[in-house]
Amino acid sequence: MSGESGNNLFQFTGEAYEGSFKADLLEQYKLYVQSAENVSTRRVHSSRYLLTLNAALVAMYGFQFAGFGQSYWTLVVPIIGILVSLLWCLIIKSHADLNRVKFKVIHELEQHLPAAMYKYEWRLAEYGRGKSYRAVTAIEKWIPILFAVLHVVLGGVIVLSLVGISA
């Protein structure tokens, strides 16, 4: 061990390492990049599931107005929809935060490799704030927000229809 605190990425210096430091570093780098890609894949799967769930909830509004009757229990659908949308936002944020940390580690690993492709790409992409690239998360987070607004509006329609029925 190098004797340094646990705050550093590397546990060994190249000289103190007993194996092939460069080869093992490259292999760990490849595995770590794959783990960052896996986070993105999990985010896509979560978003696909929550999109389907939100679409099903919106479809339930149609069934409610098609003759299944109006009562206050029908407000459960927009409440669930708002909660699902909030959960979706939190999941997107969680995945984005995790990937942000993973790419900081990747950038630090790249300091010990011949090329720093991810760091260079991120700089060319103006750190996700430029005209050439917008971070997918910045765009993707609007989908659950729009669904939440839709659930609020449709919940308002249900309330207005219930008030109209009881009046």
Domain limits of the chain?
Answer: 21-166
**Amino acid 132: pLDDT:** 74
Q: 14 with 21: CB under 8 angstroms?
A: yes
Task: Kindly give the confidence (pLDDT) of every residue in the chain, 167 residues in length, as a single tens digit, with 9 standing for 90 and above.
Answer: 444 445 688 887 778 888 888 888 899 999 999 999 999 999 999 999 999 999 999 998 877 766 666 677 788 889 999 999 999 999 999 999 999 999 999 999 998 888 999 899 888 888 777 777 777 888 899 999 999 999 999 999 888 888 876 65
